[in-house]
Protein backbone atom coordinates (compact mmCIF):
# COMPACT_ATOMS: atom_id res chain seq x y z
CA UNK A 1 0.00 0.00 0.00
CA UNK A 2 2.86 2.40 0.82
CA UNK A 3 4.38 1.84 -2.63
CA UNK A 4 1.01 2.46 -4.32
CA UNK A 5 0.58 5.74 -2.40
CA UNK A 6 4.17 6.69 -3.31
CA UNK A 7 3.45 6.03 -6.99
CA UNK A 8 0.34 8.22 -6.92
CA UNK A 9 2.09 10.98 -4.96
CA UNK A 10 5.11 10.94 -7.27
CA UNK A 11 3.00 10.98 -10.41
CA UNK A 12 0.84 13.90 -9.25
CA UNK A 13 3.90 15.90 -8.23
CA UNK A 14 5.80 15.09 -11.40
CA UNK A 15 2.90 15.97 -13.67
CA UNK A 16 2.81 19.66 -12.64
CA UNK A 17 3.71 21.38 -15.97
CA UNK A 18 5.87 24.22 -14.64
CA UNK A 19 7.19 25.27 -18.06
CA UNK A 20 3.67 25.76 -19.37
CA UNK A 21 2.41 27.47 -16.20
CA UNK A 22 5.35 29.89 -15.99
CA UNK A 23 5.31 30.95 -19.65
CA UNK A 24 1.55 31.51 -19.53
CA UNK A 25 1.84 33.50 -16.30
CA UNK A 26 4.54 35.64 -17.94
CA UNK A 27 2.25 36.39 -20.88
CA UNK A 28 4.33 34.41 -23.36
CA UNK A 29 1.49 32.12 -24.42
CA UNK A 30 1.70 28.37 -24.82
CA UNK A 31 5.31 27.14 -24.87
CA UNK A 32 4.12 24.07 -26.77
CA UNK A 33 3.57 26.26 -29.84
CA UNK A 34 7.29 27.02 -30.32
CA UNK A 35 10.51 25.10 -30.90
CA UNK A 36 10.25 21.44 -30.01
CA UNK A 37 6.74 21.85 -28.60
CA UNK A 38 7.88 20.54 -25.22
CA UNK A 39 7.16 22.03 -21.81
CA UNK A 40 10.72 21.69 -20.49
CA UNK A 41 13.42 24.27 -19.73
CA UNK A 42 15.25 23.94 -23.07
CA UNK A 43 12.11 24.88 -24.97
CA UNK A 44 11.22 27.64 -22.48
CA UNK A 45 14.69 29.08 -23.20
CA UNK A 46 13.59 29.45 -26.83
CA UNK A 47 11.16 32.16 -25.70
CA UNK A 48 14.25 34.25 -25.02
CA UNK A 49 13.49 34.45 -21.29
CA UNK A 50 16.47 32.95 -19.49
CA UNK A 51 14.98 33.57 -16.05
CA UNK A 52 11.86 31.56 -16.87
CA UNK A 53 13.97 28.79 -18.36
CA UNK A 54 16.09 28.63 -15.19
CA UNK A 55 12.96 28.62 -13.00
CA UNK A 56 11.46 25.83 -15.10
CA UNK A 57 14.64 23.79 -14.81
CA UNK A 58 14.78 24.26 -11.05
CA UNK A 59 11.10 23.48 -10.44
CA UNK A 60 11.11 20.44 -12.75
CA UNK A 61 14.16 19.16 -10.88
CA UNK A 62 12.76 19.85 -7.43
CA UNK A 63 9.53 17.95 -8.03
CA UNK A 64 11.64 14.83 -8.60
CA UNK A 65 13.81 15.52 -5.56
CA UNK A 66 10.81 16.22 -3.33
CA UNK A 67 9.06 13.03 -4.44
CA UNK A 68 12.09 10.95 -3.43
CA UNK A 69 12.80 12.74 -0.16
CA UNK A 70 9.22 12.59 1.10
CA UNK A 71 8.72 8.95 0.13
CA UNK A 72 12.14 7.91 1.49
CA UNK A 73 10.66 8.32 4.98
CA UNK A 74 8.86 5.03 4.22
CA UNK A 75 11.84 3.13 2.81
CA UNK A 76 13.87 2.68 -0.35
CA UNK A 77 11.10 1.00 -2.33
CA UNK A 78 8.73 3.88 -1.67
CA UNK A 79 11.43 6.40 -2.61
CA UNK A 80 12.15 4.57 -5.87
CA UNK A 81 8.44 4.30 -6.67
CA UNK A 82 7.82 8.00 -6.05
CA UNK A 83 10.90 9.08 -7.99
CA UNK A 84 10.11 6.91 -10.99
CA UNK A 85 6.47 8.05 -10.94
CA UNK A 86 7.51 11.73 -10.79
CA UNK A 87 9.67 11.17 -13.87
CA UNK A 88 6.79 9.44 -15.68
CA UNK A 89 4.36 12.15 -14.54
CA UNK A 90 6.52 14.85 -16.11
CA UNK A 91 6.66 12.99 -19.43
CA UNK A 92 3.03 11.85 -19.47
CA UNK A 93 0.92 14.36 -17.47
CA UNK A 94 -2.77 13.46 -17.47
CA UNK A 95 -3.78 17.16 -17.59
CA UNK A 96 -1.99 17.69 -20.93
CA UNK A 97 -3.27 14.62 -22.74
CA UNK A 98 -0.21 12.65 -21.56
CA UNK A 99 2.07 14.90 -23.66
CA UNK A 100 4.70 16.46 -21.42
CA UNK A 101 8.43 17.08 -21.41
CA UNK A 102 11.35 14.80 -22.12
CA UNK A 103 12.07 14.20 -18.45
CA UNK A 104 15.71 15.26 -18.19
CA UNK A 105 15.36 17.86 -15.43
CA UNK A 106 13.08 15.59 -13.41
CA UNK A 107 15.52 12.70 -14.01
CA UNK A 108 18.25 14.86 -12.48
CA UNK A 109 15.99 15.87 -9.60
CA UNK A 110 15.17 12.25 -8.79
CA UNK A 111 18.89 11.47 -8.95
CA UNK A 112 19.61 14.31 -6.52
CA UNK A 113 17.07 12.80 -4.14
CA UNK A 114 19.25 9.70 -3.92
CA UNK A 115 22.47 11.61 -3.33
CA UNK A 116 24.61 14.56 -4.31
CA UNK A 117 27.41 12.46 -5.84
CA UNK A 118 25.27 10.78 -8.53
CA UNK A 119 23.73 14.17 -9.36
CA UNK A 120 27.22 15.68 -9.68
CA UNK A 121 28.16 12.95 -12.17
CA UNK A 122 25.13 13.87 -14.27
CA UNK A 123 25.91 17.59 -14.00
CA UNK A 124 29.58 17.23 -14.95
CA UNK A 125 28.78 15.09 -18.00
CA UNK A 126 25.89 17.33 -19.10
CA UNK A 127 27.81 20.59 -18.69
CA UNK A 128 30.94 19.21 -20.38
CA UNK A 129 29.01 17.96 -23.41
CA UNK A 130 26.89 21.12 -23.60
CA UNK A 131 29.95 23.37 -23.54
CA UNK A 132 31.74 21.29 -26.17
CA UNK A 133 28.88 20.74 -28.60
CA UNK A 134 26.04 23.16 -27.57
CA UNK A 135 23.37 20.50 -27.99
CA UNK A 136 21.11 19.99 -24.96
CA UNK A 137 19.91 16.66 -26.33
CA UNK A 138 23.41 15.25 -26.80
CA UNK A 139 24.40 16.40 -23.31
CA UNK A 140 21.32 14.75 -21.79
CA UNK A 141 21.80 11.49 -23.69
CA UNK A 142 25.47 11.31 -22.70
CA UNK A 143 24.59 11.82 -19.03
CA UNK A 144 21.81 9.22 -19.28
CA UNK A 145 24.39 6.65 -20.43
CA UNK A 146 26.86 7.40 -17.64
CA UNK A 147 24.45 7.69 -14.68
CA UNK A 148 23.29 4.04 -14.37
CA UNK A 149 26.88 2.83 -14.69
CA UNK A 150 28.04 5.30 -12.05
CA UNK A 151 25.25 4.29 -9.67
CA UNK A 152 26.21 0.64 -10.00
CA UNK A 153 29.84 1.38 -9.14
CA UNK A 154 28.72 3.60 -6.25
CA UNK A 155 27.09 0.53 -4.70
CA UNK A 156 23.47 1.30 -5.59
CA UNK A 157 22.48 -1.60 -7.87
CA UNK A 158 18.69 -1.30 -7.39
CA UNK A 159 18.73 2.42 -8.10
CA UNK A 160 21.11 1.80 -11.02
CA UNK A 161 18.55 -0.56 -12.57
CA UNK A 162 15.76 1.99 -12.15
CA UNK A 163 17.86 4.68 -13.81
CA UNK A 164 18.77 2.31 -16.64
CA UNK A 165 15.04 2.02 -17.38
CA UNK A 166 14.64 5.80 -17.06
CA UNK A 167 17.59 6.32 -19.41
CA UNK A 168 15.96 4.08 -22.02
CA UNK A 169 12.83 6.24 -21.77
CA UNK A 170 14.97 9.41 -22.13
CA UNK A 171 16.48 7.96 -25.31
CA UNK A 172 13.01 7.08 -26.62
CA UNK A 173 11.77 10.61 -25.91
CA UNK A 174 14.81 12.00 -27.75
CA UNK A 175 14.47 9.83 -30.85
CA UNK A 176 13.65 12.84 -33.07
CA UNK A 177 16.64 14.69 -31.61
CA UNK A 178 18.87 11.70 -32.37
CA UNK A 179 17.71 11.77 -35.98
CA UNK A 180 18.41 15.52 -36.20
CA UNK A 181 21.83 15.08 -34.60
CA UNK A 182 22.67 12.40 -37.16
CA UNK A 183 21.46 14.69 -39.96
CA UNK A 184 23.37 17.69 -38.59
CA UNK A 185 20.26 19.83 -38.15
CA UNK A 186 19.69 19.70 -34.38
CA UNK A 187 18.94 23.05 -32.73
CA UNK A 188 21.70 24.40 -30.52
CA UNK A 189 21.28 25.65 -26.95
CA UNK A 190 20.07 29.24 -26.92
CA UNK A 191 18.47 29.18 -30.36
CA UNK A 192 15.08 30.88 -30.35
CA UNK A 193 11.87 29.11 -31.37
What do you get for the CA distance between the two ends of the chain, in Å? 44
Residue 192's pLDDT is 56
Please write the tens of the pLDDT for every residue from 16-50.
999 999 999 998 888 898 877 788 887 888 888 89
Query: Has residue 193 got a pLDDT over 60?
Result: no
| Cβ-based neighbour number of residue 168 at 10 Å | 12
Q: Are 86 and 168 in contact (CB under 8 A)?
A: no
Please write the tens of the pLDDT for every residue from 116-175.
999 999 999 999 999 999 998 999 999 999 999 999 999 999 999 999 999 999 999 999
The ranges assigned to domains in the chain are 2-90+102-183
Q: What is the dihedral of CA 85, 87, 89, 92, to 10 degrees?
A: -130
Q: Are 160 and 151 in contact (CB under 8 A)?
A: yes
Amino acid sequence: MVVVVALIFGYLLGSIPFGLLLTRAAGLGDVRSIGSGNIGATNVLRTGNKGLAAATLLLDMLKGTLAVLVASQFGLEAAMAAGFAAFIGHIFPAWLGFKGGKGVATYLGVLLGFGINPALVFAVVWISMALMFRFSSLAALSAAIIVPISLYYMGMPEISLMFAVMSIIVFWKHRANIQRLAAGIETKIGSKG
